[in-house]
Chains A and B, each alone.
Chain A
Amino acid sequence: MSVLTVRHSARALAAACFVGGLSVGCGGGESGPEGDALRVALLTSGPVSDAGWYAGAYEGLLLIEESLGAQVSHQQTRSPAEFDEAFFSYGSSGYDLVFAHGFEYQDAALRAGEEFPGMTIVVSSGGRISENVRSLIFRLEEGSYLAGMMAGGLTRSKVVGMVGGVAIPPAQGTFRAFEAGARVIDPDVEVLEAFIGSWDDVAAAREAAAAQLNRGADVLVHNTDAASFGVFQAVREAHGDEQPVWAIGMNRDQNDVAPDVIAGSAAIDIPRAFLRVASRFIAGDLPSGAFDLSLDEGVVDFIVNPAALHRIPAELLARIDEARTAIREGALEVPRIRFLEGESGTP
Chain B
Amino acid sequence: MIRRALRARLGSRWIGPLAAGAVALLAAALLAAAGLALAGYEPVAAGRALVSGAFGSWERFASITLVRATPLILTGLAVALAFRAGVWNIGAEGQLYAGAVAAVWVGLAFPGAPAWLLLPGAMAAAAVAGGLWTLVPVGLKFRAGVGEVITTILMNFVAIHTVAWLVHGPLQEARGVFPQTDPVALAARLPRLGSGRLHAGFPVAVVLAGALWWLLRHSAWGFRVRAVGASARAAAVSGRIHTGRVVLGAFLLSGMLAGLAGGVEVAGVTFALYENLSPGYGYTAIAVALLAGLNPVAVLLAAGFFGVLQAGAAAMQRDVGVPAVWVSAIEALVILAVVAADRFLRRGVAGKGGG
Contact = CB atoms under 8 A, between A and B. Distances in A.
A242 B64 CA distance: 58
A341 B175 contact: yes
B178 interface: yes
A239 B292 CA distance: 54
A104 B167 CA distance: 13
B238 interface: no
Given A25-B56, A104-B274, A10 B25 contact: no
A343 to B, nearest CB: 11
A167 interface: yes
A28 B55 CA distance: 10
B346 A347 contact: no
A168 B279 contact: no
Interface string B1-41: 00000000000011011101110110000000000000000
Given A25-B52, A25-B55, A75-B314, A14 B304 contact: yes
A107 B298 contact: no
A167 B179 contact: yes
A195 to B, nearest CB: 9
Nearest to B50: A21
Contacts of B63: 85, 88, 92
B154 to A, nearest CB: 19
Contacts of A29: 52
Contact of B64 (A48, A75, A89): A89
B22 A16 contact: yes
Interface string A62-97: 000000000001111011111011101110100000
Contact residue range for chain B? 35 or more
B151 interface: no
A347 B177 CA distance: 8
B197 interface: yes
Contacts of B346: 1, 5-6, 9
A17 interface: yes
Interface in B309-355: 311, 314-315, 317-319, 321, 323-325, 338, 342, 345-347, 349-350, 353, 355
B18 A28 contact: no
Contact of B292 (A11, A74, A103, A197): A11
**Residue in B64, B293, B342 with the greatest tally of chain A CB atoms within 10 Å:** B293
Given A18-B308, A81-B269, A10 B278 contact: no
Contact of A5 (B60, B196, B353): B353
Contact of A9 (B17, B305, B315): B17
A9 B279 contact: no
Nearest to B325: A47
A325 to B, nearest CB: 32
Interface in B266-297: 269-272, 274-279, 291-295, 297
Interface in B180-229: 180, 183, 196-197
A277 B257 CA distance: 46
A48 B21 CA distance: 36
A4 interface: yes
B164 interface: yes
Interface of A: 1-18, 20-22, 24-26, 28-31, 41, 47-48, 73-76, 78-82, 84-86, 88-90, 92, 103-104, 106-107, 127, 166-169, 197, 339, 341, 346-347
Query: Which 3 A-B residue pairings sit nearest by Cβ, starting from the closest?
Result: A25-B55, A16-B21, A14-B301
27 contacts: A9-B342, A12-B14, A12-B17, A13-B21, A13-B342, A17-B301, A20-B25, A28-B56, A30-B57, A31-B52, A31-B319, A47-B325, A73-B318, A75-B314, A78-B324, A79-B277, A81-B68, A81-B269, A84-B197, A89-B314, A127-B175, A168-B177, A168-B178, A169-B177, A339-B178, A341-B175, A347-B177
Given A11-B17, A88-B63, A127-B175, 8 more contacts: A5-B350, A7-B293, A14-B292, A14-B305, A47-B324, A81-B279, A85-B311, A107-B271
